[in-house]
């Protein structure tokens, strides 16, 4: 960790001014930021603590648009009875993430900004275009079992690790952003950036901008949703493959489908291909597997992660079957 100045503003406005300073970074729950700083992967000169700011931690599920304050804790949403009932995919994605201790501390806004667990990014030594732009990508010819299959480039194949962001991608989600000068709302689909030549850039967030809320357009498909996650162990591990599926059913037939994938892409990954196969289909395991096959048709596997295509096909099928039973 490198020396820094810690500031704890009293209001969001003050925080936005502080965050606009060059070299400033925002600290909310701290579960990602402190980890990055201790590993020398982030070295802010000024740390702006917003974790205590009032008015940013409400969860409001009552209106036509669900609203999650950026400072709401993962645990608060994971344990929210209405969310569990009406949008089980969202609640499950949080429940299956991290550990209880981390969920108690980590915020919903910060969660979207998690950085990859790619070991070459984390180890501080190996060539990594994300850590040292232009230095190369060690994962391309190294250990790539956990790497991504979608949204990658020859500069970077790292995975987006988040579960919450993945589940949100199945819905009509937007991210509310404030800066000292302005505010804007960005659809989640455009919030994260797939890797091109500059994998160091992961979101559209600019210096001085703070995520203040996440919104989701209410949908009856929420009730017919699930988040399925396969990982090496039963708890406290990132997804090898995960899938959120939300369905509206007309008898045995799928009236509408929403599918997103995690553990396999550089960003939360919506699969229009899987949705197209599911929509109008009679939902059987075979149909679920066909949807999964469509989801992974465009995958670009590396040397040790091709199994994620077959595993992903099955995860989509399992999630679709679970979702259909709820719909």
- By CB under 8 A, name the binding residues for other proteins: 1-3, 40, 117, 119-120, 122-126, 138, 141-143, 145-146, 230, 232-238, 240, 285, 307, 310-311, 314-315, 317-318
Nearer to other proteins, 27 or 139 (CB): 139
**Cβ atoms 261, 243 nearer than 8 A:** yes
Q: How far is CA 98 from CA 74, 103, 105, 175, 233, in A?
A: 10, 7, 11, 22, 12
Q: What is the largest CA-CA distance in the chain?
A: 61
For residue 15, give both structure tokens: 């925080």
In whole angstroms, what separates CA 50 from the centre of its chain? 21
Q: How far is it, in rounded angstroms, from Cα 283 to Cα 204?
A: 37
CB of 304 to other proteins, least distance (A): 9
CB of 239 to other proteins, least distance (A): 12
Q: Which residues are registered as beta bridge partners of 128?
A: 137
Nearer to other proteins, 91 or 317 (CB): 317
Q: How far is CA 54 from CA 10, 15, 51, 71, 76, in A?
A: 9, 12, 9, 9, 16
CB of 314 to other proteins, least distance (A): 5
Nearer to other proteins, 178 or 318 (CB): 318
What lies within 8 Å, CB to CB, of 66 at 6+ separation is: 60, 87, 215, 216, 217, 218
Nearer to other proteins, 106 or 175 (CB): 106
CB of 63 to other proteins, least distance (A): 36
Q: How far is CA 195 from CA 144, 156, 198, 202, 266, in A?
A: 16, 7, 6, 8, 7
CB of 14 to other proteins, least distance (A): 27
Backbone angles phi, psi at 49, to 5 degrees: -85, 120
Nearer to other proteins, 62 or 235 (CB): 235
DSSP H or E run through 173: strand 173-178
Short-list 217, 233, 293, 285, CA closest to 261:
293
CB of 147 to other proteins, least distance (A): 12
Nearer to other proteins, 126 or 129 (CB): 126
CB of 149 to other proteins, least distance (A): 14
């Amino acid at each position: 960790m490198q020396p820094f100045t810690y500031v704890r503003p009293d209001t969001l406005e003050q925080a936005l001014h502080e965050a606009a300073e060059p070299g400033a970074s925002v600290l909310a729950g701290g579960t990602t930021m402190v980890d990055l700083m201790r590993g020398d992967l982030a070295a802010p000169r000024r740390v702006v603590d917003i974790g205590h700011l009032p008015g940013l931690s409400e969860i409001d599920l009552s209106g036509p648009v669900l609203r999650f304050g950026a400072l709401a804790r993962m645990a608060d949403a994971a344990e929210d009875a209405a969310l569990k009932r009406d949008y089980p995919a969202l609640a499950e994605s949080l429940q299956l993430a991290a550990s209880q201790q981390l969920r108690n501390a980590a915020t919903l806004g910060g969660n979207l900004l998690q950085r990859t667990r790619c070991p070459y990014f984390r180890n501080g030594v190996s060539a990594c275009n994300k850590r040292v732009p232009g230095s190369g990508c060690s994962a391309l010819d190294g250990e790539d079992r956990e790497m991504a299959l979608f949204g990658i480039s020859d500069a970077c194949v790292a995975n987006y690790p988040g579960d919450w962001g993945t589940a949100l991608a199945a819905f009509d989600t937007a991210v509310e952003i404030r800066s000292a000068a302005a505010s804007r709302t960005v659809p989640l689909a455009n919030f994260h950036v797939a890797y091109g030549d500059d994998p160091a850039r992961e979101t559209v967030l600019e210096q001085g901008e703070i995520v203040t809320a996440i919104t989701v357009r209410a949908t009856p498909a929420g009730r017919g949703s699930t988040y399925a996650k396969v990982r090496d162990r039963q708890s406290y591990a990132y997804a090898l493959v995960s899938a959120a599926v939300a369905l509206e059913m007309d008898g045995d037939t799928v009236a509408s489908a929403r599918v997103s994938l995690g553990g396999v892409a550089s960003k939360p990954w919506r699969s229009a291909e899987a949705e197209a196969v599911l929509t109008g289909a009679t939902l059987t395991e075979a149909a679920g597997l066909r949807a999964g096959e469509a989801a992974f048709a465009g995958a670009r596997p590396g040397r040790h992660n091709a199994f994620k295509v077959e595993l992903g096909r099955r995860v989509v099928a399992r999630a679709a079957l679970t979702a259909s039973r709820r719909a």
